[in-house]
Chains A and B, each alone.
Chain A
Amino acid sequence: MAVDAENQADLELDPATEEADVDAMIEVRDLTHYYGPMPAVENVNFTVRRGEILGFLGPNGAGKTTTMRILTGFMPPTRGTVTLDGFDVVEKSLEVRKRVGYLPESVPLHTEMTVTSYLKYMGTLRGMNGRNIRRRIDDVIDVCRLEDYSKTLIGKLSKGFRQRVGIAQAILHEPEVLVLDEPTIGIDPIQVVETRSLIQDLGREQTVVLSSHILPEVSMICERVLIIHEGHIVAADTPNNLAQHLRGVAQLEVEIGGPPADVLPVLRGIEGTTEVTHHPRPGVNAYRVKFREGLDLRDDISRTVVSNGWSLLSMQMSSMSLEEIFLRVTTAEDDVE
């Protein structure tokens, strides 16, 4: 993983404050899952508060679906613990599953059933009684705007309507937690807008965890965003903070032979730097220089160092910055819309 540990530590929420959070609906601790020898997610930690809308953002294959499958009790983690409303997803799987509504990415539905009979079936599986099921079917058909298709075979519905049926079954039993894996993938732009506002409505009462690889979508709907990349959480913050963090800063790693006490003020004095930190390693004085995006300070820094009579041992742009991840994530949107 290219993002260095320190950078990651700044961005993650402090675990100590999270432990104390009595309002935590989902707590994920040191979650690791392997498919064969390859880790799909590794040492993932996060907390979702009751009533929060949390977004997982990351490119395909980042580990979003794996994390969601573990949250919903579909498969157990290789290591680590996940609790939902205080229930462990492995030990108290049944209690967890009662509280979760889930929309898998591929929207798997029984195509040979009608919308109503399918919803009735799912309601019974979730332990709802007959009267409750009838009342809720009317509700969700209304909310998901399926009125004209309640007697239609699911196999005959278009992708967009199937997505609605998928959401309808997820919210049918009024779960406390809603887990939606890529809820807007593969549907047309108008339906995307409808689905987003539907999720926002649902998020007023329920805890929602959704995944997406579209940054604007996540920042629009979610109160908090986790950027997940190659199985690790690389950033966790509100969309606003995250955007600022991502936009404002670029950084360089520089190794300079010279007394740090003299070097630091000089580096800080260079026009455009926002933050300079000193990281001594054995035999080397390394500095991390953050500066405003759009500038290239390499030229200025090398001249300054040499003119002061110090030696410039190495200089490189941070190999995998958040910007690059951000860029990957945002470019993926063009493929979809």
Chain B
Amino acid sequence: MRTIRAVAFKEIQIYFSSPVAYIVALIFMALSGFFFVRDLGNPFPEASLSNFFQGATFLLIPLAPALTMRLLAEEQKLGTIELLLTSPVRDWEVILGKYLASFVFLLFLLFLTSYYVILLVVFAKPDPGPIYSGYIGLILYGMAALSVGILTSTLTSNQIIAAVVGTGILVVLYATSFIGDVVTGVWATVFNQLGFTSHFNDFDRGIIDSTHIVYFVTVTALFLFLSIRALESRRWR
């Protein structure tokens, strides 16, 4: 536990002292702000964060891998992984520590967006239910997206490759639901159940369904498990 905390704490420190994380935060705030105000100019706008939530899931596709790309790829590039893996630290502790750091930064990003909530509450009377459920959904969605980024960062010593491949996997997971909308029969269900979007949309509507929670938690666990195995296999290569 202490080692997980040590790994996570070190990475969080580096997040807040490196420009990459701030650039990611800036892009996220600027673009999610655009999504937030998009419909507010219309006559009779709805006082909801739905546009922001939908936009944020889209933004996290490139931004989550950008946050995680450094975490293991750089250790492999610099060779510091040699000292990390010769310390009495288990492989899963390394992965979990790194993952936790990126998750904390994600929470920081979402905390910044509480500014939108404040605006809504001050100027309108939004329905609080979908706001709570939307944030819960966004956190779960982000957890899954970050775990994908952790895997690709474990597999390569090149940060750019880690980010690009991570984004690619997330695009596939994001778009699978749209394939589900096009095809019919059993395949429609299969594609819909596999993709991120259909599982996220209920949260946006104010529904907290345990199937969706199980889905995102399972995806996260799967990718973290694969990352641990990938790190282990590094020793044998």
Contacts and interface: CB of A to CB of B under 8 A. Distances in A.
11 contacts: A75-B236, A102-B82, A108-B79, A108-B83, A109-B78, A110-B10, A112-B17, A117-B13, A121-B6, A125-B89, A127-B3
Could you tell me the dominant secondary structure of chain B's interface residues? helix
A326 B13 CA distance: 49
A100 interface: yes
A310 interface: no
Contacts of B6: 121, 124-125
Interface in B76-92: 78-90
A126 interface: yes
A12 B203 CA distance: 71
A125 B13 contact: no
Nearest to B93: A125
B83 to A, nearest CB: 6
A100 B86 contact: yes
Contacts of A144: none
Given A74-B82, A76-B235, A97-B88, A112 B18 contact: yes
B125 interface: no
B30 interface: no
Interface in A93-137: 94-95, 97-98, 100, 102, 104, 106, 108-113, 117, 121-122, 124-127
Given A75-B235, A124-B3, A102 B83 contact: yes
Interface of A: 69, 72-76, 94-95, 97-98, 100, 102, 104, 106, 108-113, 117, 121-122, 124-127, 169
B87 A122 contact: yes
Given A95-B88, A126-B88, 20 more contacts: A69-B82, A73-B85, A73-B86, A74-B85, A74-B235, A102-B83, A108-B79, A109-B78, A109-B80, A110-B10, A110-B80, A113-B10, A113-B13, A121-B6, A122-B87, A125-B3, A125-B84, A125-B87, A125-B88, A127-B88
Contacts of A122: 83, 87
A99 to B, nearest CB: 9
A163 to B, nearest CB: 14
B19 to A, nearest CB: 11
Top 9 closest A-B pairs, CB basis? A108-B79, A124-B6, A125-B87, A108-B80, A97-B88, A72-B86, A98-B88, A104-B82, A121-B10
B88 A94 contact: yes
Given A108-B78, A112-B14, A127 B2 contact: yes
Contacts of B83: 102, 104, 108, 122, 169
A146 to B, nearest CB: 17
Contacts of B5: 124
Contacts of A95: 88
A282 to B, nearest CB: 45
A142 B88 CA distance: 25
Interface centre among A95, A98, A122 (most CB of B within 10 A): A122
A104 B75 CA distance: 14
Contacts of A125: 3, 6-7, 84, 87-89
A160 B19 CA distance: 28
B13 A126 contact: no
Contacts of B17: 112
